[in-house]
Amino acid sequence: MQLDKLDALSVGAGVALSAAAVMAYKAITAPKTPSGKLYFYYFPIAGRGELSRLIAAAGGLEIEESKPGSDFNKAEYGSPSGMPLLCHGDLKISQSSAVQKYLSSLVPRFAALSPAQQATEDMFACIKEDVLKGCAQVVFGGIANAPTEIPKHCDKWFDVVEGLLPAEGFILGLGYPTVSDLAVLNMARGYMPFGASYKHGKYNYALKHPKMAALVERTAATPGIKEYLASSKSLTLSFLDVDKK
Ligand SMILES: N[C@@H](CCC(=O)N[C@@H](CS)C(=O)NCC(=O)O)C(=O)O
């Protein structure tokens, strides 16, 4: 055999071997997604659990909600006491942000978003957290101050949010809502603590934030979300004594 033919053969064999090695490496190291039911633990109100529920509804994920029993070990989830918590196979996690991200990773059209789009998703989810924190402080720490505190807190945030929203369509410019839009819907429609703070603060976010109001309506009308909103009990539930009067 000629020397140059031998070289071509060995280069070919080398390439094939390398390709096989890469494929084997990918197969061995590919992340294994847990399987089985998704168990979700939270109070029966909107609060920090609602965005996870909305993500599951939009993505067609079935989550089984239960109340942790007295022998439930929250520390295994990384939590001293707070919820939400999620269990999926061997995976046990706390922290609303981690739960939201994990659930959206199970929805192919959310998982396929680019890093820049995912960063926008995280930003809106975190804005929801900051707005929630301020509303909860007033609702649980001095609801009589709501008429002065809530318009200040919410306008500060919603003026900024309004500036980021499209006049038409959804935040990422796709043909369907993503976590960003769901976070805005959550702030607009979740009663605890958002709606409670608006009600007791005599605040109507829609008056000064028409793009936000319109985005909420568009998002609310999409498949999965429309049905969820019509049947959700957590979205509107209050556990405030002032609402019982
Ligand atoms: N940083 C945590 C906060 C969790 C948290 O404080 N959850 C509240 C409800 S929104 C809770 O469970 N409070 C009762 C407790 O801590 O025992 C998260 O985002 O999940």
Residue 194 belongs to domain with CATH number? 1.20.1050.10
Q: Are 48 and 99 part of one and the same domain?
A: yes
Whether 6 is in a domain gets the answer no
Per-residue pLDDT tens digits for 176-225: 999 999 999 999 999 999 999 999 999 999 999 999 999 999 999 999 99
The pLDDT, as a whole number, for residue 31 is: 65
| CA–CA distance, 65 with 49 (Å, rounded to integer) | 11
Residue range of the domain that includes 207: 113-243
Q: Are 185 and 136 part of one and the same domain?
A: yes
214 CA from centroid of ligand 1 (Å): 30
Atom of ligand 1 nearest to the CA of 83: 12
Per-residue pLDDT tens digits for 55-114: 999 999 999 999 899 999 999 999 999 999 999 999 999 999 999 999 999 999 999 999
156 CA from centroid of ligand 1 (Å): 24
Q: Are 91 and 142 part of one and the same domain?
A: no
Report the candidate in 39, 40, 37, 59 with the shortest Cα–Cα distance to residue 107: 59
Q: Indicate if ligand 1 lies below 6 Å from the C-beta of 188.
A: no
Whether 23 is in a domain gets the answer no
Q: Are 166 and 232 part of one and the same domain?
A: yes
Percent of the chain past pLDDT 70, that is, above it, reads 97
Last residue of a domain, one of 64, 81, 105: 105
Whether 27 is in a domain gets the answer no
Q: Are 184 and 94 part of one and the same domain?
A: no
Q: What separation in angstroms does the CA of 74 have from each of 80, 82, 94? A: 6, 8, 8
Whether 176 is in a domain gets the answer yes
- Look at residue 1 and tell me whether its pLDDT is greater than 70: no
Q: Indicate if ligand 1 lies below 6 Å from the C-beta of 52.
A: no
Q: Are 54 and 96 part of one and the same domain?
A: yes
Rg (CA), the chain: 23
| CA–CA distance, 226 with 217 (Å, rounded to integer) | 10
DSSP secondary structure of 172-225: TSSSS--HHHHHHHHHHH-IIIIIHHHHHTT--HHHH-HHHHHHHHHHHTSTTH
175 CA from centroid of ligand 1 (Å): 33
Q: Are 94 and 215 part of one and the same domain?
A: no
- Look at residue 144 and tell me whether its pLDDT is greater than 90: yes
Atom of ligand 1 nearest to the CA of 132: 10
Global model pTM greater than 0.85 = yes
Q: Indicate if ligand 1 lies below 6 Å from the C-beta of 96.
A: yes
C-alpha neighbours within 13 Å on the C-beta side of residue 18: 6
Atom of ligand 1 nearest to the CA of 97: 19
Q: Are 155 and 233 part of one and the same domain?
A: yes
Whether 4 is in a domain gets the answer no
Q: What separation in angstroms does the CA of 145 have from each of 155, 193, 236, 239? A: 16, 15, 22, 19
Q: Indicate if ligand 1 lies below 6 Å from the C-beta of 100.
A: no
Give the number of domains in the chain.
2
Question: Residue 98's domain is classified under what CATH number?
Answer: 3.40.30.10
Q: Are 126 and 214 part of one and the same domain?
A: yes
| CA–CA distance, 219 with 198 (Å, rounded to integer) | 20
Last residue of a domain, one of 105, 137, 162: 105
Question: Which of 40, 41, 52, 83 gets mutated to test ligand 1 (max ligand atoms within 8 A of its CB)?
Answer: 83
Q: Are 48 and 153 part of one and the same domain?
A: no
